[in-house]
Amino acid sequence: MLKILLLFVLVEYTLQGRHGRQYNRHKGHHNRYKGVPSWSHSNRYRGVPSWSHSNRYRGSKTTQYDSYRPRKPTWPPSTTTTPIVNTTQPGGGDVRLPLNLYPVLYELELQPFIYEINPTDFYFIGKVTIQMECRQSTNEIVLHSNQLNITTSSVRIEPMAPGQNPIIPTIEFDTVNHFLILKTNTQLVSGSNYSVYIEFRGPLLSRLAGFYQSSYQRGNDTIYIASTQMQPTDARKAFPCFDEPAVKARFNVTLIRKKHLISLSNMNQIRSKNLANDWVADQYAVTPLMSTYLLAFVVCDFTFKEKTTANNVLYRAWARPEAIDQTTYSLDVGVRILTFFEEYFATPFPLPKQDMIAVPEFGFGAMENWGLIVYRETSMLYDPLDTAENFKQFVTMVISHELAHMWFGNLVTPSWWDDLWLNEGFANYIAFVGMDFIHKDWLVLDNFVVSSVHNALSFDGLISSHPIYVPVSNTDEIFQIFDSISYEKGGSVIRMMQFFLGDETFQRGLQLYITERAYGVASHDDLWDALGRQSIIDGKPQKVHDVKRIMDTWTLQMNYPTVFMERIGNDIKLSQSRYLRDKNATDPGTYNSSFGYKWEIPFTFTTQTNKDFNQNDADIIWMGKEGTDILLSGVISGNDWFIGNIKQYGFYRVNYPKDNWDKLTDQLKMDHTIIHPVNRAQIINDAWNLAKSGDLGMNTALKTVEYLSMEDSYFPFFAANNELVYVRNMLERTELYGDFSAFMKKTFSIPLSELGYNNTGSGHLEILLRRLVVERACDYGNEDCINNAISSFQNLMQGTGPINPIDVDSRQNVYATAIKYGGVKEWDFVYNRYKTSNVASEKLTSLVALSYSREVWILSRFLQYSLTDDIRRQDGLIAMRLIARNPIGRSLVWDFLRGNWNDITNRFGSASFLIREVTAKFNTEFDLQSIQTFKDSLPNLGNAAAAFDRAIETTRANIKWMDSNFQIIKDWLQNLS
């Protein structure tokens, strides 16, 4: 899954040339070309056997059922349900399934009703037969079911051996754990096989979870579609199932739809049958062994474009008919990246087809359902005339991320959600590797540092952080770890691991892990084991044979170290200590470290005379978890500066004595190009964050940005901008803001005059840099920039044709500036574009611009809209977060959040990101009180508990920052002018 937070970063990236080894794709279990076509009448999908003939999926225990004929669905299905039993059990207890009965094959049929009735009454009916093997004798079957009405009279358990009678169970529910409990009088016996049959009915709500409804406009008509989002725990809202990631089974899916619609699922369609009343039943080939959270069902009126990959996988891109032309780019990228990953992982994509679909309402960025990846429209659709460069990069990144999951997550699945990072950390990082393959010139692997590593370091600098590997049990806890730690820190430590193993060993180790674990599950120890064995095979140094010993220090304890580099004569002394944003913060004691907050650090450095920014694993100096200092003898001479952590491959900060910092900042001013752009970004990021924690004087941090108006690389600018946004947030309501704003205006006006406004002929990174510079310059009041934007906007408003005359990469700034300096007329004009544009990125660009208004009543109205269908549900939280960034909007959103907590959490499922955004600028005792009071007033924090703790810790740190730095910044600003 791709969290929507990443939409805000709209990131970019890099990697050196890396091509997968060729592999023999005609061996082993994975031969998808030689299967026996069964009763499929579609020749396009060759080699997809029906479930009863297949033995090609590894780990399959199904051959024993070959003689068993499951109940065939009856057509057409009845549309009535009998009353449900509603025995609410106390709940609590173990949230995990006992698994005495273990599912092997599901025969599932679902029929959504999305027409001819009121949308609030939309529902679906379903039938499922689950074949199970009994692994431990028991008198009950426990499976998951949530918000489903079970037709009790339908429920039957059948022993799968001849001559035995069906068992009619009594039915109970545990509504806290979402358990459906079937109790039997007869004992179910270990070693025997049973099947259970259940009919059910569920609501098709617009909640973006489980099986849900979505809609879009065509002229005055509303077109409805039914779609799914199962991860992590919502498959149980679509049908009764064993809804845990490790419980893999095979699925034989049938979707029933109206004749004028189409249906899609994970596998290829093998049969379509007309039923009464214009209903059609589409049956899909049986899936390989897979987890429930990866299932997907869609019923809609979309059209598609298709291609075939180099290795003969049918690849289709689906969208609203009006938007189908916007799928060209993603289809092309998807096809190429899928093949790239097949080679990178040396494992063919095991399904006969791969669909990508852009649904109009989607709660996340995208979801990696096996064979049917669902995207938010902004994550997949690309229109060269109307979609900006940063969106293009975002689309590429999301496609690559989801395709990486086809191996990391889908083929090999974490045993439990506590290892979620194995999915998300890998997808987060490997996405950049795939993207680099497509666009070398984007330097995305360098970009990963500023877009992911720096975020992770920031999030993980708090005492309220958590280890990458974290025990979780219930749904709230599971949801909370879809966070920066699993994605960005996970990705960052994987990149570090690639560095210390070397690219080849890393890649071959992953291939080993995937080959050995395919169709099964794994934990982080399995990964360390495979990588360790590979490093022995490859003759790597002893140190990296025991990957677990190294990686445990990064994944089992939270936070990360600062390495202090000190010069003593011609030697350099290294020591490590834990970085904490606030050293005095009280440890809530949730997580203990078994390593005493010491790490196994792959350290690298360079000096002025022996400059080398192109280092590899052979250059590593290991600092051990014993924490002893290290002396590097005779490595430096003269008056040299030195820099640690080349290209920031390691997940740690580096600090120096003041005189080395001074030499580095002098170097930046004299000739910044001597230092690699990634290390320039690192110097800025480290200095500012060491200043935040009190490890470095603020004066020194400020010096790292004095050269900025001479900077010409996007990455250091990006890093500096993040820190300067922080200062802005802190100073926004103080008397210093005027001076600060003047400094910023000057800093961005110089590069603006060099870069200009015209993107014609510019490369990717130059376009991104120009955009950053122009936006900041306008933001801080550069008159030329503002006038330019306002007059472009007037042209647009007065224009009549369908063509938008504004350069696509300037639109965000033009709309935002016009709204900031305009009134309700400009706002309504852009709002209308949000409502009516056929291009998702244009909608989002408009939405962002709407938050720039300085009129309180306009912002209030916008806030109200965001909680209703005036703003798409998928965009509602984004709108609120954007308004919270506006200095005027911030207190509005805070009041709104407090006044509408239940409505907001009901509508969006979680308010965690909103809490983080709205409190980001809090820096007074009064603010702190306000969070505490609000938190205490809530009877049930749900999945927002951690977000509150972080908000409190961040606010405390901000208060401290103001106390220590306000005067220093004041003096600095006055000396500058």
**Partner in contact with 163, chosen from Zn ion, ligand NAG, none, beta carbon below 5 to 8 Å by kind:** none
Number of residues interacting with ligand NAG: please give it, by CB under 6 A. Answer: 13
Does 403 help bind Zn ion (rule: CB under 5 A)? no
Q: Which of Zn ion, ligand NAG, none interacts with 427 (beta carbon under 5 to 8 A by kind)?
A: Zn ion
Does the protein bind ligand NAG through residue 220 (CB under 6 A)? Answer: yes
Whole-number Å distance between alpha carbons of 529 and 536: 11
Nearest residue (CB) to ligand NAG, 132 versus 209: 209
Exposed e or buried b per residue across 672-708, where buried means at least 16 C-beta atoms within 10 angstroms of its C-beta: beebbbbbbbbbbbbbbbbbbbbbbbbebbbbbbebb
Residue 276: count other Cβ atoms within 10 Å of its Cβ.
Answer: 7
Least distance to ligand NAG, CB of residue 120, Å: 11
- Binding flag, residue 175, ligand NAG (CB under 6 A): yes
- Contact between 202 and ligand NAG (CB under 6 A)? yes
Nearer to Zn ion, 9 or 314 (CB): 9
Q: Is 1 in the site for Zn ion (CB under 5 A)?
A: yes
114 is a site residue for Zn ion (CB under 5 A): no
| Catalytic position from the list 12, 133, 368, 402 | 402
CA–CA separation, 633 and 861 (whole Å) = 66
Q: How many CA atoms lie within 13 A of 905 on its CB side?
A: 17
Closer residue to Zn ion (CB): 1 or 95: 1
Residue in 308, 303, 305, 294 with CA at minimum distance from that of residue 321: 303
| Beta bridge partner(s), residue 63 | none
Q: Does the footprint of ligand NAG cover residue 922 (CB under 6 A)?
A: no
Tell me the window of 198-206, 251-259, 282-290, 952-960 that interacts with ligand NAG (CB under 6 A).
198-206
Nearest to 66 by CA among 47, 53, 49: 53
Min dist. Cβ of residue 402 to Zn ion (A): 7
* Sites for ligand NAG among residues 851-910 (CB under 6 A): none
Out of 128, 171, 374, 427, the only residue in the binding site for Zn ion (CB under 5 A) is 427
Percent helix, strand and coil across the chain, each rounded to 5?
45, 20, 35
Q: Which is nearer to ligand NAG, 149 or 378 (CB)?
A: 149
Is 676 marked as a binding-site residue? no
Q: Interface with ligand NAG by CB under 6 A: which range of 8-16, 199-207, 694-702, 965-973? A: 199-207
Q: Shortest distance, CB of residue 359 to ligand NAG, whole angstroms?
A: 22
**Partner touching 799 among ligand NAG, Zn ion, none, CB below 5 to 8 Å by kind:** none
Phi, psi of 690 (to 5 degrees): -70, -30
Tell me the C-alpha to C-alpha distance, in Å, between residue 76 and each of 72, 199, 278.
12, 14, 11
- The count of C-alpha atoms lying within 13 angstroms of the C-alpha of 503, restricted to the half-sphere facing its C-beta, is 12
Q: Is 402 designated active site?
A: yes
Whether omega for the bond prior to residue 321 falls within 30 degrees of 0, making it cis, is: no
Asked whether the beta carbons of 40 and 286 are under 8 A apart, the reply is: no
Neighbours of 971 (CB within 10 A): 13
- Give the CA distances from residue 448 to residues 15, 391, 647, 681, 688, in Å, rounded to whole numbers and listed in that order: 9, 16, 11, 12, 19
Query: Of residues 77-96, which lie at the interface with ligand NAG (CB under 6 A)?
Result: 81, 83-84, 86, 88
Least distance (Å) from ligand NAG to the CB of residue 284? 24
Residue 971's contacts (CB-CB under 8 Å, 6 or more residues apart) are none
- Tell me how far CA of residue 931 lies from CA of 727, 919, 922, 938, in angstroms: 21, 8, 9, 11
Question: Which tokens sit at 514?
Answer: 């995937």
**Residue 165 touching ligand NAG (CB under 6 A):** no
Give me 201's structure tokens.
């009915």
Q: State which residue, 357 or 773, has the beta carbon closest to Zn ion.
A: 357
Q: Is 585 an interacting residue with respect to ligand NAG (CB under 6 A)?
A: no
Residue 199 Cβ vs ligand NAG, minimum distance, rounded to whole Å: 12
Instruction: For residue 285, give Cα distances in angstroms to 109, 252, 292, 736.
Output: 13, 6, 16, 66
Question: Are 874 and 376 spatial neighbours (Cβ–Cβ below 8 Å)?
Answer: yes
Q: Residue 446 binds which entry of Zn ion, ligand NAG, none, with Cβ cut-offs from 5 to 8 Å by kind?
A: none
Asked whether 141 and 105 are in contact (CB, 8 A), the reply is no
In a 13 Å sphere around the CA of 110, the CA atoms on its Cβ side amount to 33
Nearest to 353 by CA among 107, 34, 32: 32
Tell me: does residue 111 bind ligand NAG (CB under 6 A): no
CB of 538 vs ligand NAG, minimal distance in Å: 57
Which residues have CB under 8 Å from 586's CB, separation 6+?
463
Residue 1 interacts with which of Zn ion, ligand NAG, none, CB < 5 to 8 Å by class:
Zn ion
**Cα–Cα distance for residue pair 757/770, rounded to 1 Å:** 7
Selected from 50, 146, 149, 233, the binder of ligand NAG by CB under 6 A is: 149
Residue 123 in the binding site for ligand NAG (CB under 6 A): yes
Min dist. Cβ of residue 527 to Zn ion (A): 17
CB closer to ligand NAG out of 221 and 735: 221
Shortest separation between residue 291's beta carbon and Zn ion, angstroms? 14
Note whether 203 binds ligand NAG by CB under 6 A: yes
- Whole-number minimum distance, CB 106 to ligand NAG, in Å? 21
Distance (Å, rounded) from C-alpha 106 to C-alpha 772? 51
| Residue 430 near Zn ion by CB under 5 A | no
Does the protein bind ligand NAG through residue 834 (CB under 6 A)? no
Rounded least distance, CB 202 to ligand NAG, Å: 5
Asked whether residue 439 is marked as a ligand-binding residue, the answer is: no
CB 809 within 8 A of CB 776: no
- Residue 233 or 792: the one with the smaller Cβ distance to ligand NAG is 233
405 annotated to a ligand binding site: yes
Nearer to Zn ion, 513 or 726 (CB): 513
Q: Which residues from 875-934 bind Zn ion, rule CB under 5 A?
A: none
Is residue 700 helix, strand or coil?
helix
Q: Does 219 bind ligand NAG (CB under 6 A)?
A: yes
Nearer to ligand NAG among residue 194 and residue 216 (C-beta):
216
634 touches which of ligand NAG, Zn ion, none (CB within 5 to 8 A by kind)? none
* Binding site, annotated residues for Zn(2+): 401, 405, 424
* Binding site, annotated residues: 401, 405, 424
* Contacting residues toward Zn ion, per CB under 5 A: 1-2, 424, 427
The catalytic residue positions are 402
* Contacting residues toward ligand NAG, per CB under 6 A: 81, 83-84, 86, 88, 123, 149, 175, 201-203, 219-220
